[in-house]
């Protein structure tokens, strides 16, 4: 089990959380550069971080995304008290807001012997196992990241979005899991660039508001199990 520092940032503006991630990201890239010139026993281990948080209403566009997947004007953004941010993660457009668990792992994939695709698969697996504990059957969708429900039907819908960045095997950005999310905000975008797939939440699937803190606790346990990590404060 590899130690990783866990922090719950609570409700935080998207840009502030991004800046906080960037501090760790830059620090770990510097350590990796320094380690290259050192023998193994003299290298500094990158412990890494997992951040959980919740954002006020915000739409974020990944670097491969199309701005026209945001379907509303600046005036309407103001009206619904939302902001819009272009980011440096992969993926297209998504929404973050209250009632959603956003997770940002800043870890060294080499420490966990993972390639980027394997890392994304483990994030998905952690979510899938957590949802199963709450009675929700979910799965992957071929050709798309994230966690989905009923992928073989016309009712296919996404419950968790994933968009990451990795440089020299250091990761940032992460996942957004809809727990008690106001899904109406997704009506103003083509989520992740898809025009023919729905979005859902744990609340919608289970018919009642979920215990947000309990979901976080179960999710942490599943991440620890899947990645072989020990989350410590």
Q: List residues with catalytic annotation.
A: 192
According to DSSP H, which parts of 52-201 are helical? Answer: 74-79, 116-133
Inter-residue contact 194 to 93 (CB < 8 Å): no
DSSP element (H, E) containing 214: helix 212-227
Inter-residue contact 95 to 191 (CB < 8 Å): yes
Integer CA distances (angstroms), 148 to 18, 68, 108, 140, in order: 26, 24, 27, 6
Strand 198-199 with 157-167, pairing: parallel
The label of the residue with tokens 């956003």 reads 102
Angle at Cα 229 formed by Cα 211 and Cα 47, nearest 5°? 115
């Amino acid at each position: 089990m590899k130690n990783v520092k866990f922090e719950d940032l609570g409700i935080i503006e998207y840009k502030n959380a991004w800046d906080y991630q960037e501090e760790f990201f830059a620090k770990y890239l510097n350590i990796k550069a320094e380690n290259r010139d050192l023998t193994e026993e003299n290298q500094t281990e990158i412990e890494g971080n997992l951040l959980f948080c919740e954002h006020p209403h915000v739409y974020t566009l990944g670097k491969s995304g199309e701005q026209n997947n945001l379907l509303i004007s600046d005036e309407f953004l103001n009206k619904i008290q939302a902001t819009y941010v272009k980011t440096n993660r992969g993926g297209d457009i998504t929404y973050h807001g209250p009632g959603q668990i956003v997770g940002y792992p800043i870890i060294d994939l080499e420490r966990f012997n993972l390639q980027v695709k394997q890392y994304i698969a483990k994030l998905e697996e952690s979510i899938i196992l957590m949802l199963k504990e709450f009675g929700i059957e979910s799965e992957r969708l071929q050709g798309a990241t994230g966690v989905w429900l009923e992928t073989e039907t016309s009712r296919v819908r996404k419950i968790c979005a994933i968009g990451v960045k990795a440089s020299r095997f250091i990761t940032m950005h992460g996942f957004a899991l809809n727990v008690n999310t106001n899904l109406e905000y997704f009506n103003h975008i083509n989520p992740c660039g898809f025009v023919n797939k729905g979005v859902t939440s744990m609340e919608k699937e289970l018919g009642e508001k979920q215990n947000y803190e309990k979901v976080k606790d179960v999710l942490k346990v599943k991440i620890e199990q899947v990645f072989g990590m020990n989350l410590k404060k």
